[in-house]
Structure 1
Amino acid sequence: MAEVQPHTFAFPILIGDIGGTNARFSILVDATSAPDQFPHVQTADYETIDDAIADVVLKNSVHKPRSAILAVAGPIDGDEIDLTNCDWIVRPKKMIGELGFDTVLVLNDFEAQALAVASLTAADRQPIGPIAEATEASRVVLGPGTGLGVAGLVHARNTWFPVPGEGGHVDIGPRSKRDFEIFPHLRRIDGRVSAEEIISGRGLLNIYNAVCAADGIAPSLDAPPEVTEQGLSGENPQAAETIELFVRYLGRLAGDLALIFMARGGVFLGGGISPRILDALKKPEFREEFEDKAPHNELMKTIPTFVVTHPQAALAGLASFARSPATYGIALEGRCWQR
């Protein structure tokens, strides 16, 4: 496998954001044109990613892509890349041989989110708290959704360096009196409460069930969307407390990660849940927990926080990289294949 230098990504370029449930594709014809969009794909509707690309993209485009840059929800550890939450396997060599690509680059899905955080404008985000500007300094992105993705974004020598990781699996512990009542009832993995088990879709349900258990009542809701809807409306008291606790726990973790990365450029909340609970995040609890990091409370007050509102943030990030790869410090070794 040869190392591919950034300038060798030939247009047109297929970009794809491949999750466990949905896949989104677009084609960049050149470095200046707006991307050609295609309908969202349900991964369950196609046996393979190659079938989806052939049917949804290649059949419906007059432009034959020469390169592909794909962000996938799964570890990249060879030329057969298993997705975490669906049966698709990405086989770059097979794509080159059968779909006609010259180059295929595969990135982590939260690298794409980090690329988006570096490139999106103020119109694509909502500030949470008093600071509305994001400086060109290191940043963090968290994405509560089906799971909890975390990535850093280091800024040095006029270059953005995405730092993907597994920060969604760090431990979360109780702090308040109410936490100590609720945490004994939370579902654990091998004895520990990880961030993803409470700051995600299933985490909403986990918190809700624990709140009900602490209150000594039977839960009446059994799906995260129900908890969100009735929590935001106030229709269900336990669901309403769940939303408040979710916001608090997200604020605590966001603050921890801001300190770890010294993210003076801001902390950005992506994923599917954050935009849906935007009004709850704008209440005081998120910033209270975010800033409560003694002895560094004053430092935390200077770090901005945002919700990413762009509907296709990952694709936008990949497109920015495809247009201007030299702007980003993306390591290609082991995940870029050429004809």
Structure 2
Amino acid sequence: MSGTSEHSFPFPILIGDIGGTNARFALLIDAFADPKQLPPIKTGDFETIEEALQKSILDKTSVQPRSAILAVAGPIRGDEIPLTNAGWVIRPKDMLSSLGLEDVLIINDFEAQALAVAAPADEDLVQIGGGSIRPMTSRVVLGPGTGLGVGGLVFAQHTWFPVPGEGGHVDIGPRTERDFQIWPFLEPIEGRMAGEQILCGRGIMNLYRAVCAADGVDPVLTDPAEVTTHALAESDRAAIETISLFSTYLGRVAGDMALIFMARGGVFLAGGISQKILPALLKSPFRAAFEDKAPHSALMRTIPTFAVIHPMAALSGLAAFARTPRDFGVATEGRRWRS
């Protein structure tokens, strides 16, 4: 039986990655077992997380978890944690009392993505361009999805420290002549062009409409999936340019984050959009934009960039942490509840 010291959680541990649309869970029976994958849950199908867990998981498994480590999209402040893009409000005290748990830790979703790149498996990555991972050095994760998530991972004192933040909201500006033609037609956020206004699902549409407006043509595609499909099939000129520019701007922001963190351990692209547009990312604009950071272009060429193709990367990060919490400097103050 596991002790419940500051550095450990009692097994079995329920780990979960709760996004705007889907919540994914797995059970970790002990420190040596592989996580047992559970069926994903649509957040909209249940009023509360307690109901979702009870009906979808606890009623259907003989193994009852004693602790839960959950990654959520949204800031964690106080005893009520509203999700950014879903209807649930997570109340860890309610989870302790109604689900029979002893220990609940809530962390940021991009902290979990960062934990996952401490020791990623080769088969979970596709390298984009050159460079090589320098072990035990800082890393960065960017995830264009519903928004633009950014997380850092810093190595110090034999420990990996995930650094959550709001890096997706940094300013992004025009550089090329074409950028200056498109920029007046982009929809800003309160007068400002943030990375997330372009580098996410709705951002693809923002960029596509701006490309059409700059060329004086009517937009005919109506959602991001249509734009990416036409771009990859090379069947719509505006869609092709949209995804090419998206790749360029993602490369620029990824390069900025690499410089901030001195990420010699690599920059990792997580999330559904990166996987969907991987063929476009493997072509030139992403990597060229990433490296184009004078006076540090020579340095940038040594830093590798990867697409993460593991469908449950955040869960693998949570599992690594749950097994050996001492290896990771995950802040628990104000984010851990015990019965």
Instruction: Sort the TM-score into its range (normalised by shorter chain).
Output: over 0.9
The share of aligned pairs that are identical, in percent, is 61
Alpha-carbon offset, residue 39 of structure 1: 1.0
2:45 — aligned with what? Answer: 45
Alignment of 1:1-339 (within 5 A): 5-7=6-8, 9-133=9-133, 135-339=135-339
Q: What is the DSSP-based 3-state SS (H/G/I as helix, E as strand, rest coil) of the residue aligned with 1:27? A: strand
Any unmatched runs of 5+ in structure 2? none
Q: What is the DSSP-based 3-state SS (H/G/I as helix, E as strand, rest coil) of the residue aligned with 1:10? A: coil
Structure 1 stretch displaced more, 43-52 or 280-289: 280-289
Deviations 1:73-113 (CA, angstroms, capped at 9, x unpaired): 11100111100111101111111111000000000010000
Alpha-carbon offset, residue 6 of structure 1: 1.4
Deviations 1:269-315 (CA, angstroms, capped at 9, x unpaired): 00110011111111111111001111111011111100001010001
Deviations 1:224-243 (CA, angstroms, capped at 9, x unpaired): 00000001111000000001
Mapped partners of 1:135, 1:56: distance in 2: 40
Mapped partners of 1:92, 1:133: distance in 2: 38
Mapped partners of 1:296, 1:35: distance in 2: 41
* Paired residues of 1:134 and 1:304 also in contact (CA < 8 A): no
Alpha-carbon offset, residue 53 of structure 1: 0.5
Mapped partners of 1:262, 1:31: distance in 2: 32
TM-score (norm 2): 0.97
* Paired residues of 2:132 and 2:266 also in contact (CA < 8 A): no
The amino acid across from 1:146 in the alignment is: T
Q: Residue 134 and residue 251 in structure 1: after superposition, are their counterparts in 2 closer, same or farther (change >3 A)?
A: same
Mapped partners of 1:112, 1:36: distance in 2: 18
* Paired residues of 1:247 and 1:281 also in contact (CA < 8 A): yes
The amino acid across from 2:111 in the alignment is: E
Mapped partners of 1:297, 1:134: distance in 2: 17
Q: Residue 4 and residue 144 in structure 1: after superposition, are their counterparts in 2 closer, same or farther (change >3 A)?
A: farther
Any unmatched runs of 5+ in structure 1? none
Q: What is the DSSP-based 3-state SS (H/G/I as helix, E as strand, rest coil) of the residue aligned with 1:141? A: strand
TM-score (norm 1): 0.97
* Paired residues of 2:10 and 2:67 also in contact (CA < 8 A): yes
Query: Deviation above 6 Å: which 4+ runs of structure 1?
Result: none
Mapped partners of 1:85, 1:279: distance in 2: 28
Alpha-carbon offset, residue 133 of structure 1: 4.1
Q: What is the DSSP-based 3-state SS (H/G/I as helix, E as strand, rest coil) of the residue aligned with 1:118? A: coil
Deviations 1:109-142 (CA, angstroms, capped at 9, x unpaired): 1000001111321111111112354532100000
* Paired residues of 1:4 and 1:332 also in contact (CA < 8 A): no
Aligned residues: CA RMSD = 1.1
Alpha-carbon offset, residue 61 of structure 1: 1.1
Mapped partners of 1:320, 1:166: distance in 2: 24
Mapped partners of 2:12, 2:120: distance in 1: 22
* Paired residues of 1:173 and 1:193 also in contact (CA < 8 A): yes
Mapped partners of 1:14, 1:289: distance in 2: 40
Mapped partners of 1:184, 1:233: distance in 2: 28
Q: What is the DSSP-based 3-state SS (H/G/I as helix, E as strand, rest coil) of the residue aligned with 1:280? A: helix
* Paired residues of 1:144 and 1:271 also in contact (CA < 8 A): yes
The amino acid across from 2:276 in the alignment is: R
Q: What is the DSSP-based 3-state SS (H/G/I as helix, E as strand, rest coil) of the residue aligned with 1:107? A: strand
